[in-house]
Amino acid sequence: MKPPPFAYLRAESVEQALTALRQHGDEARILAGGQSLLPMLNMRLTRPAILIDIMRIGALREATVSNGMLAVGAGMRQASLLGRASLAREVPLLAASLPWVGHYQTRARGTVCGSVAHADPSAEIPLCLIALSGSIRLRSARKRRTVPAETFFTGTMMTERADEEMIEAVLLPLAKPGCGYAFAEAARRHGDFAITACAAVAEADRLRLAVGGVADRPVARDLPRLDGSALDDALNDFAWSLGARDDMHATARYRRDLVRKLGRKVLEEAVSCRR
Amino acid sequence: MAGIRAPIEARVIATDRVRYVGEPVAIVVAGDRYLAEDALDAIEVTYRPLPAVIDPEEAAEPDALVLHETASGNIVSERRFSYGDPDAAFAAAPHRVSVKIHYPRNTGSPMETYGVVAEYDPHEATYDVLANFQGPFSIHAVVARALKVAGNRLRLRMPPESGGSFGVKQGVAPYVVLVAAAARLAGRPVKWIEDRLEHLAASVAATNRVTTLAAAVAGDGEILALDWDQLEDCGAFLRAPEPATLYRMHGNMTGAYAIRHLRMRNRVVLTNKTPTGLVRGFGGPQVYYALERLMARIAAELGLDPLAVIRRNLIVPDAFPYRSASGALYDSGQYQLALDMAVREGGLAELEARREQARAEGRLYGIGFAAVVEPSVSNMGYITTVLSPAERRKAGPKNGAQATATITLDPVGSVTVQVASVPQGQGHRTVLAQVVADELGLHPRDIRVITELDTAKDAWSIASGNYSSRFAPAVAGAAKCAAERLRARLARIAAAQLNAVPDDLLFAGGRIASRRNPESALPFARVASTSHWAPGTVPEDVGEVIRETVFWTPPELTAPSEADETNSSLCHGFIFDFCGVEIDRVTGKARIDRYVTMHDCGRILHPGMVEGQIRGGFVQALGAAFYEELAYGEDGAFLAGTFADYLLPTAPEVPPLDILHIETPSPFTPLGAKGVGEGNCMSTPVCLANAVADALGAEALDLPLTPAKLAALAGDAEPPPPPGQEAGAAPARTGARTLRGEGRALVRAAPERLWAMLLDPRVLASLIPGAHGVRKLSETRFQADVTLGVGPVKGRYKADIELSDLAPPHAVTLSGSIAGALGGGGGKGRITLAPQGDGRTAIEYRYEAFVGGKVASVGGRLLDGAARVIIGQFFAALARRTGDAPSGWRGLLARLTALLGSRR
Amino acid sequence: MPQMKAGSRHPVRFTLNGAPASIEAEPRTLLSDALRHHLGATGTHVGCEHGVCGTCTVVIDGAPARSCLTLAVQAEGCDIRTVEGLSPLADRLGILQAAFRRHHALQCGFCTPGILMSLDIFLKSASSPTEEELRDVLGGHLCRCTGYAPIIAAALDAAAALREDAHV
């Protein structure tokens, strides 16, 4: 378990990183926290020609609030964001789900944007982005563009990002007054990849449930009000629509059960914590 | 291989047929591990896939695929045993209760992997090997034979400590052979440190076992007879000392119960899995899971209290030493007393009240029990029970369990202890220093304990090593014997100098003093150094008092009898566990409310070390119960190649543990101690399963108890899918990993035109995702280099494509396989073309495909999805090429896209 | 900043337990291997090389890190602390280490260096941790011997001793 050979560039500016990306295309990978990339390198599942280390670029390390959004830069580690005192007020859903991302030790290195770029179908941060209708700011040497989370994730470890683009920041809408948020996940052990993760948003006139770990990407759906059996039917429809599959950790049926039951639980919790 | 004469070659590296994922096929020696792995990548291995046989019951069928072409079948050993009169007991019994258990594969998974440094000296024709091997050292003989040298030409050295073993480091032996051979070929020392992927795939697994166990039961729950049918899966080769897992428990197949009639059938079967070996518990978990599930089922079926059924059958205290039906001699025990104490001090009544309340509130709560006899200090002869008495007579008797300890006195009279055991964290130094210090009247810090072992210089024997919980009862006991002998002789030297009688002398506080006249005393060090400085003053018949080596073997460990009675172990500790478990209706997760474990391990030598063994064993058992499985697909793919797939318990999963003790010393060991390290691996999985079964009202229950499994047992029927959405066929069984699909479409073209397209290599090339160039080998065979991958996970593969069963222009079978460094895969699709009479043709296809090798082992969670994407790409391309992508195809494509996702 | 070529060695400088260290490493060299094989600092152990077991955990610039998921070249200019830096003197144990010894919080000791580093840095930020918090931190480590209970006990004990130490 040793990585194959690759070149390494310690980028000192975003421009330098983007120039290298443009030059190397899909032969290059951005190295941020490395918590997903390094295991794949050690197992030789991926063979980039060059790694572009962006962690020395000070400009990427910030999280800023503007236009009703929290923009988290590509260099911000998960632990730093979790340590942001205002996070629970700004994006309570993310504050609730970040402690479920890996472990204390991996959060200290792993970045928020790195998890989004990796696009693991059961990852918590992409799920929050989907639930909150956040977006991803991509940048190449030529242009910037912002892609809604709903179209960004295209499949297992696949995203809308072009080879010459890097994620510059992810944008998370700030909590709105009168809204409630809730998160829960079921995993084999604490800190494991979620078998099913549910994130709920309750607004005055709308309920939204996002589910990770079941389909090949996180998926969200707007649902009817809590009362009545319509929600049960809607949750059941949602559960069946996700194409759940069996694997060695859980059955498809269990995953659907969790969408129905854990989904209802987080929706109820989101409604009850509206403020 | 314990004298089993199956015509099977057990090689350490595959030659022309590979039988399990992880079997070595090549070894690269390089300047460092990075370069060695680069070189491995450059090796192209061509595999011709053969069907795999994974399920032991299928492998045991007469018409099963045979793993070893030189053998007539996969069953390499079958023996039947009968003790007492089981037929009569079953015939007369009013009830018959039985369980069938599929015990899964798991392993000890020490945090340190295997490590070997080997060197060959061509002038001496000697191998010098440093390895974190743990014994039994009977395997030294096996390794020497494999290297084709005499025992004295294989110097095996073990480090003073290693990073955990739990039995598993016995399995480094084949790699010792491999690395030693590599060193000889390379002409220089070779070092190999196993990585975690290698370790999980191909170190050592405990056996998986299919057990059918039936009891003849009286109305009051008394068990009159047992009938065991055990089918043991040892993987692809029977590697020494297997099939020992199956026979280690032979003497105690009746557990803690006084059952006099016993029938057994033991079969050993080979399958396409990693060879098995020592893992903590070694046969105990498999046996007790069946036996204690049976106890719970007897209570359930007869409407009795499970604890009452246990009590009804326990061996009574005045029966000890107790000879079990199958020949074990249980040394000592007070089972009822242990039970009563545990029930009282562990608070069973409170748990029962909690269960009542939980159930009243509609929660799922259960209580489980397990009573287990924990064997320790294996009889080296037990494994010969696998042979018939006639075969044993021919081979000569095997028995005993030599333990070895040496104590040395140096010229300043300080004491060094050396034992032929190789600790992996069990606290040998702490305990031995204490045992010897107590004997010699010194402080433990005065004693130096050396734990490395060198087969060229140290005293050792076949039973040496650290396994079968033999340290406290046997090894520490041997050290005590050596210290006693030294003391007796030192007493005579001191007596001569003090003008006292040896019996009058007291060893205490670093001095040797007369009891009657405490003023008359000598420093211990002065007496202990006498033989170095003034041997002339040592009384003549005392001899030199410099070094004492003791080989200790207990007389009770006799060879199996003509009637197959086998005293498989010297000591028999007792464990009684109970627990309360609640199951979450939403997540299916089990929460352990309380777990109580009562141990009688004889005399406790060091409470801290005993507690460490119990807690460690308990958490490993927790893993076996809920998390761990070395899972295989039915195609033989290994699915648990990383620590994200083989799940060890972590701190948040571990519940509080209440540990209780009583001490009934063993009359057979020098210190009265018995083993304690393996018991919870035997008792805890089944105790938890019994609680879960009680909570869910479940009858059959196999490990691991995953949330998905428990949720399915806890929940109601699933609500059906909404109209228009298919439920999809459930896989026939766990481990079924074949991806299947089918589709139908109408296109505006005649079958002939479509047929021509399908047989056109250019068209075919365009269908294969990522093809770099297609070579036509014949009209129906093609080869291509392809780059396949999802996201960043990409690899280059060689693809073989073949058309067969051609029925122009109506049907063709398209089969393909790919192979590369990341593993391989393959699939087969049948395509049929049916003219519709209106100028259109209906195209139908069905496919099935599989993925194996490294990708399946390390990335199963993500990469099965990836495989679907790739198959999706193939059929999407097929759809595009077949013309106008009419509505039927679009529907299929939409479905594939939704299911698989595809790169835009 | 020139790009470092694959396959050739490049100078990397960092601080290891307070002392300057310099190595020549390929871009792909893992920090765990650099510490063990280039610098002989074999106190850091390697248990899985995919970031799960936690055995190789070190502290980089005040935060825990899996050294098997870190490239040596990423360590340029960083402050790295390993288990070798925990004890005040070669024959003295640090407060946390001494607590581990008292509580039998290790058996084989293979996982211990990583656990010590995680707990050491965590206890610097949380002087009165709850058992729950300690379990969470420890959740990023695998120990196969102890069953974790004595490790939690040792950490609680060490936290108390460190608080006392801070008061003195």
State pLDDT tens for residues A119-146: 999 999 999 999 999 999 999 999 999 9
Please tell me the distance in Å from B434's CA to the nearest CA on chain A. 39
Flag if C1 and A16 touch (Cβ within 8 Å).
yes
The mean per-residue pLDDT over the stretch B377-384 comes to 96
Is residue A189's pLDDT more than 70? Answer: yes
This prediction has a pTM of: 0.94
Task: Return phi, psi of residue B338, to 5°.
Answer: -60, -45
Is residue B855's pLDDT more than 80? Answer: no
Closest CA to B306 of B317, B319, B318, B292: B292
Residues B536, B526 contacting (CB under 8 angstroms):
no
Picking from C145, C148, C151, C156 by the largest number of B CB atoms within 10 A of its own CB, the best residue to mutate is: C145
Residues B249, B567 contacting (CB under 8 angstroms):
no
Which subunits have 3 or more CB–CB pairs within 8 Å of chain A?
Answer: B, C
CA separation for the pair A244, B595 (Å, rounded): 35
Flag if A41 and C28 touch (Cβ within 8 Å).
yes
Q: pLDDT band for B725, please (50, 70, 90 cuts).
A: confident
* B186 inside 8 A of chain C by CB: no
pLDDT of residue B841: 84
Flag if C147 and B110 touch (Cβ within 8 Å).
no
Q: How high is the mean pLDDT of chain B?
A: 91
The mean per-residue pLDDT over the stretch B557-581 comes to 98
pLDDT of residue B868: 63
Residues C6, A6 contacting (CB under 8 angstroms):
yes
Share of chain A above pLDDT 70, in %: 100
Nearest to C111 among B111, B611, B644 (CB): B111
Which residues touch B104 (CB under 8 Å, ≥6 apart)?
B208, B629, B630, B631, B702, B703, B704
The SS3 of residue B35 is: helix
Q: SS3 sequence, B280-317?
A: CCCCHHHHHHHHHHHHHHHHHHHCCCHHHHHHHHECCH
Q: pLDDT band for B748, please (50, 70, 90 cuts).
A: confident
Nearest to C51 among A38, A99, A189 (CB): A38
Is residue B736's pLDDT more than 80? Answer: no
Nearest to C6 among A5, A35, A108 (CB): A5
Compare all CA atoms of chain A with the CA of C54 and give the residue at the minimum distance: A105
Q: Is the dihedral of CA B128, B133, B138, B143 positive or negative?
A: negative
Q: pLDDT band for B361, please (50, 70, 90 cuts).
A: very high
CA separation for the pair B231, B228 (Å, rounded): 10
* C71 inside 8 A of chain A by CB: yes
The mean per-residue pLDDT over the stretch B231-251 comes to 97
Query: Which residue reads 């037990």 in tokens?
Result: B382
Is residue B258's pLDDT more than 90? Answer: yes
pLDDT of residue B899: 34
Query: How many contacts, defined by CB atoms under 8 Å, are there between B and C?
Result: 116
Closest CA to B413 of B450, B442, B453, B438: B442
Flag if A256 and B865 touch (Cβ within 8 Å).
no
The mean per-residue pLDDT over the stretch C150-157 comes to 98
Closest CA to B266 of B244, B296, B294: B244
Closest CA to A161 of B903, B136, B417, C153: B903
Is residue B760's pLDDT more than 80? Answer: no
- How far does CA B86 lie from the centroid of its chain? 31
Please tell me the distance in Å from B868's CA to the nearest CA on chain A. 10
Both tokens of residue B485? 């002998």
Residues B578, B368 contacting (CB under 8 angstroms):
yes
Compare all CA atoms of chain C with the CA of B680 and give the residue at the minimum distance: C147
Nearest to A247 among B41, B707, B860 (CB): B860
Flag if B195 and C49 touch (Cβ within 8 Å).
yes
The strand pair at A196-203 and A206-212 is best described as antiparallel
Please tell me the distance in Å from B576's CA to the nearest CA on chain A. 28
Is residue C138's pLDDT more than 50? Answer: yes
The mean per-residue pLDDT over the stretch A90-117 comes to 97
Type of residue at A4: P
The SS3 of residue B504 is: helix
pLDDT of residue B791: 75
pLDDT of residue B785: 83
Residues B280, B108 contacting (CB under 8 angstroms):
yes
Chain A residues within 8 A of C122 when measuring between CB atoms = 104
Both tokens of residue B241? 């000392």
Contacts made by residues B520-526, CB under 8 angstroms, sequence distance 24+: B522/B494, B522/B497, B522/B498, B523/B413, B524/B413, B524/B440, B524/B441, B524/B442, B524/B490, B525/B412, B525/B413, B525/B414, B526/B413
Flag if B37 and A156 touch (Cβ within 8 Å).
no
Flag if B792 and A2 touch (Cβ within 8 Å).
no
Type of residue at B595: Y
Is residue A63's pLDDT more than 70? Answer: yes
Flag if A108 and C65 touch (Cβ within 8 Å).
yes
Q: pLDDT band for B870, please (50, 70, 90 cuts).
A: low
Query: Which residue reads 């090549």 in tokens?
Result: B26
pLDDT of residue B827: 80
Q: pLDDT band for B676, please (50, 70, 90 cuts).
A: very high
Type of residue at A226: L
pLDDT of residue B898: 36
Bond before A173 cis per omega within 30 degrees: no
Compare all CA atoms of chain C with the CA of B109 and give the residue at the minimum distance: C144
Chain C residues within 8 A of B161 when measuring between CB atoms = 108-109
Q: pLDDT band for B3, please (50, 70, 90 cuts).
A: low
Is residue B483's pLDDT more than 60? Answer: yes
Chain A residues within 8 A of C71 when measuring between CB atoms = 8, 31, 34, 38, 51
**pLDDT of B499-509, one tens digit each?**
999 999 999 99
Write down the ipTM of this complex. Answer: 0.97
Q: pLDDT band for B378, please (50, 70, 90 cuts).
A: very high
Picking from A38, A188, A241 by the largest number of B CB atoms within 10 A of its own CB, the best residue to mutate is: A188
The mean per-residue pLDDT over the stretch B878-902 comes to 42
pLDDT of residue B895: 36
Chain C residues within 8 A of A104 when measuring between CB atoms = 64, 118, 122, 136-137, 139-140
Compare all CA atoms of chain C with the CA of A40 and give the residue at the minimum distance: C50
* C141 inside 8 A of chain B by CB: yes
Is residue B896's pLDDT more than 60? Answer: no
**pLDDT of B785-838, one tens digit each?**
887 777 777 777 888 888 889 898 889 888 888 788 777 777 888 888 888 888
Is residue B284's pLDDT more than 80? Answer: yes
Query: Which residue reads 């020395």 in tokens?
Result: A56
Flag if A104 and C118 touch (Cβ within 8 Å).
yes
Is residue B518's pLDDT more than 80? Answer: yes
Torsion angle of C-alpha atoms A157, A158, A160, A164, degrees rounded to 10? 80
Please tell me the distance in Å from B107's CA to the nearest CA on chain C. 11
Angle between helices B348-360 and B335-345 (to 10 degrees): 50
Chain C residues within 8 A of A42 when measuring between CB atoms = 30, 49-50, 68-69
**pLDDT of B425-479, one tens digit each?**
999 999 999 999 999 999 999 999 999 999 999 999 999 999 999 999 999 999 9
Chain B residues within 8 A of C42 when measuring between CB atoms = none
Residues B377, B675 contacting (CB under 8 angstroms):
yes
Please tell me the distance in Å from C74's CA to the nearest CA on chain A. 8
pLDDT of residue B878: 62
Is residue C83's pLDDT more than 50? Answer: yes
